[in-house]
């Protein structure tokens, strides 16, 4: 028996019988549900569901046809992911390497279910890192017209069959057109200090203010800089005795685990974006 594993995402206006309808759709097609999570956001009256199921390859067409048949009645939005297909992710980075190394190591150890299709940078410094991990490295300088630079990005994404992008401390602003074309497929990391500590050396600014808690935020990149829907956040309490250098190291550790955690949620299709905010199941 040739069983395939799929992930089903559903969201629609909340109403009676939605869980029953979904499970009946899968049961009729001969699917075996492995995991199912659902949530109703009562403030907005929207129902969300994520189901992981196994099914014979021939049965998936029946699932799709059943879902299409109830779309109108339930105002249903749905997405099906075949877990056999491994997502291909591009890493964009500048000179800072802690997030880059962390992602590459976690993927190599099996903690991130993806392939890294390429590393893209506006500097050549980290080229050898790609070579040591067997990931193609592309240098795309930022001292050129944004349209030219992002045109090259599009070529690389096409050539490497990339499904998503993770900005691992890529210190350049992407255009509104680019982020819109890859909406909810670009994941970024920034300090939770923002906007309190803007500009250069935010950790230095934080230390001089005597900050007691630091953090980081993983979010989707949108045309509004650092304002995209939030995927994952983490914090760390700051001992009174730390030096600036020790504070920076604490920040790097938070950035690494926050970025990899956010990417893992995206890879597992756990993120729903509705009206500009995320719901994680």
Taking only the tens place, the pLDDT of each residue in 179-221 is: 999 999 999 998 887 567 777 888 899 899 999 999 999 999 9
Question: What residues make up the domain containing 242?
Answer: 88-280
> How high is the pLDDT of residue 225?
77
> How high is the pLDDT of residue 202?
87
Task: Tell whether 156 and 75 lie within a shared domain.
Answer: no
Give me 172's structure tokens.
């350049």
Task: Tell whether 8 and 58 lie within a shared domain.
Answer: yes
List active site positions: 226
* Count of the separate structural domains present in the chain: 2
Domain stops at, among 32, 48, 82: 82
Domain stops at, among 66, 82, 98: 82
pLDDT at 117 over 70: yes
Domain stops at, among 18, 49, 82: 82
Q: Would you tell me how many other CB atoms lie within 10 Å of the CB of residue 103?
A: 25
pLDDT at 1 over 90: no
- On average, the pLDDT of the chain sits at 95
- Percent over 70 (pLDDT), the chain: 99
Beta partners for 38?
49
Rounded to an integer, what distance in angstroms lies between the CA atom of residue 10 and that of residue 64?
Answer: 12
> How high is the pLDDT of residue 195?
63
User: Got the DSSP string for 42-80?
Assistant: TTTTEEEEEEEEEEEGGGHHHHHHHHHHHHHHHT-EEEE
Rounded to an integer, what distance in angstroms lies between the CA atom of residue 202 and that of residue 248?
Answer: 9
Task: Tell whether 15 and 150 lie within a shared domain.
Answer: no
pTM above 0.85, yes or no: yes
> Which residues are within 8 A (CB) of 123 and not within 5 positions of it... i.e. 6 or more apart?
94, 95, 139
pLDDT at 165 over 90: yes
> How high is the pLDDT of residue 72?
95
> Any idea what the CATH number is for the domain that residue 59 is in?
3.30.70.260
Task: Tell whether 261 and 222 lie within a shared domain.
Answer: yes
Tell which residue, 107, 102, 131, has the closest CA to residue 119. 131
Tell which residue, 267, 253, 17, 167, has the closest CA to residue 280. 267
> Any idea what the CATH number is for the domain that residue 226 is in?
3.40.50.170
pLDDT at 70 over 70: yes
> How high is the pLDDT of residue 250?
94
pLDDT at 267 over 70: yes
Beta partners for 272?
279
Task: Tell whether 171 and 264 lie within a shared domain.
Answer: yes
Task: Tell whether 137 and 104 lie within a shared domain.
Answer: yes
> Which residues are within 8 A (CB) of 131 and not within 5 positions of it... i.e. 6 or more apart?
137
Task: Tell whether 78 and 94 lie within a shared domain.
Answer: no
């Amino acid at each position: 028996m040739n069983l395939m594993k799929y992930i089903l995402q559903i969201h629609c206006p909340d109403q009676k019988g939605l869980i029953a309808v979904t499970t009946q759709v899968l049961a009729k097609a001969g699917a075996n549900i492995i995991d199912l999570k659902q949530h109703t956001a009562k403030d907005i009256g929207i129902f969300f569901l994520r189901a992981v199921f196994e099914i014979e390859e021939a049965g998936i067409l029946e699932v799709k046809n059943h879902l299409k048949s109830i779309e109108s009645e339930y105002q249903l939005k749905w997405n099906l992911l075949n877990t056999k297909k491994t997502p291909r992710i591009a890493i964009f980075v500048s000179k800072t390497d802690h997030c880059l190394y962390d992602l590459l190591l976690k993927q190599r150890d099996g903690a991130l279910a993806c392939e890294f299709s390429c590393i893209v940078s506006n500097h050549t410094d980290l080229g050898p890192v790609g070579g040591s991990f067997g990931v193609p490295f592309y240098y795309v300088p930022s001292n050129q017209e944004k349209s030219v630079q992002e045109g090259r990005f599009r070529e690389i994404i096409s050539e490497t069959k990339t499904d998503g992008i993770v900005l691992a401390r890529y210190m350049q602003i992407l255009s509104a057109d680019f982020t819109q074309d890859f909406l909810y497929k670009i994941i970024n990391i920034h300090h939770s200090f923002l906007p309190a500590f803007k500009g250069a050396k935010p950790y230095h600014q934080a230390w001089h203010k005597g900050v007691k808690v630091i953090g980081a935020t993983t979010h989707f990149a949108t045309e509004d800089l650092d304002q995209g829907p939030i995927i994952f956040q983490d914090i760390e309490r700051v001992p009174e005795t730390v030096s600036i250098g020790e504070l920076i190291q604490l920040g790097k550790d938070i950035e690494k685990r926050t970025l990899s955690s956010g990417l893992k949620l995206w890879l597992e299709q756990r993120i729903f974006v509705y009206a500009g905010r995320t719901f994680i199941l």
